[in-house]
Amino acid sequence: MSELNEVISEQLSVFIMGFAVLIVLLAIVLIIQGAKIRKMRRRYEAMMSGNGIEDLESLLVNLKNQGDMLEEGQREHKVMIEAAQSKMRGMKSKVAMKRYNAFGERGNDLSFSLAILDDNHSGIVLSSLHNRENSYIYSKPLEKGESQYPLSPEEKEVIALALQQI
């Protein structure tokens, strides 16, 4: 046993130096980790300051709720846009007019044909025939670009002009 005490007492200074170095290294690591935690805490507090939120969990819940509300609003807008698009397809937006001299007499081009169509090629053709004594107005309905009444060449031309529009 005395030999063991001698070996320990000879090596005691080495053990103490080794433990001292280990303690110094651990102290340095502790200081570095403390600095990193302080830096992270400052960034966290800067992120959370001014918005009235005390923790990250409530922030995430609020962000999730806002995202859900945005998605709901987006769905509502999509429905409204689709309704507006379907309504626009039925609007009479293709209009064309041609003026001409219907009777070949002397005078001006006071007669005209007017086509008013929607995207389905449905609508009306109005024709006004003007001569010196009288003026006549005719209206012919159109379904898919065709009429149940005979169309004059000018009326066919004005329908074709209206259908060429975008």
Q: What DSSP line would sit under 22-33, residue for residue?
A: HHHHHHHHHHHH
Contact 109, 99 (CB under 8 A): yes
In a shared domain, residues 60 and 107: no
Which domain, by its residues, includes 103?
94-163
Tokens standing for 22?
Answer: 């280990």
Q: Establish if 4 belongs to a structural domain.
A: no
Please, which pLDDT band fits residue 39 given cuts at 50, 70 and 90? Answer: very high
In a shared domain, residues 64 and 103: no
In a shared domain, residues 63 and 118: no
C-alpha dihedral over 48, 50, 51, 53, to 10 degrees?
50
In a shared domain, residues 98 and 159: yes
Please, which pLDDT band fits residue 45 given cuts at 50, 70 and 90? Answer: confident
| Residue-level pLDDT at 131 | 78
Tokens standing for 84?
Answer: 């507006």
Burial string for 10-40 (b: 16+ CB within 10 Å, else e) reads eeeeeeeeeeeeeeeeeeeeeeeeeeeeeee
Q: Establish if 3 belongs to a structural domain.
A: no
pLDDT digits (tens, 9 = 90+) for 55-79: 777 778 888 999 999 999 999 999 9
Q: Establish if 1 belongs to a structural domain.
A: no
Kindly state the helix (H) or strand (E) to which residue 163 belongs, with its residue range.
helix 153-163
CA 95/CA 118 separation, integer angstroms: 9
What angle in degrees, to the nearest 10, is found between the helix axes of 56-89 and 2-48? 40
Domain count within the chain: 2
* Cα dihedral sign, 41-42-47-53: positive
Fill in the DSSP letter of residue 145: T
Tokens standing for 141?
Answer: 């309905």
| Residue-level pLDDT at 36 | 96
Please, which pLDDT band fits residue 105 given cuts at 50, 70 and 90? Answer: low
In a shared domain, residues 83 and 141: no
If one counts every other C-beta atom within 10 angstroms of the C-beta of residue 101, the result is 14
CA proximity to 125, closest of 151, 86, 105: 151
Residue 127, beta-bridge partner list: 113, 138
In a shared domain, residues 98 and 158: yes
Kindly state the helix (H) or strand (E) to which residue 150 belongs, with its residue range.
none
pTM of the model: 0.50
In a shared domain, residues 122 and 150: yes
If one counts every other C-beta atom within 10 angstroms of the C-beta of residue 130, the result is 19
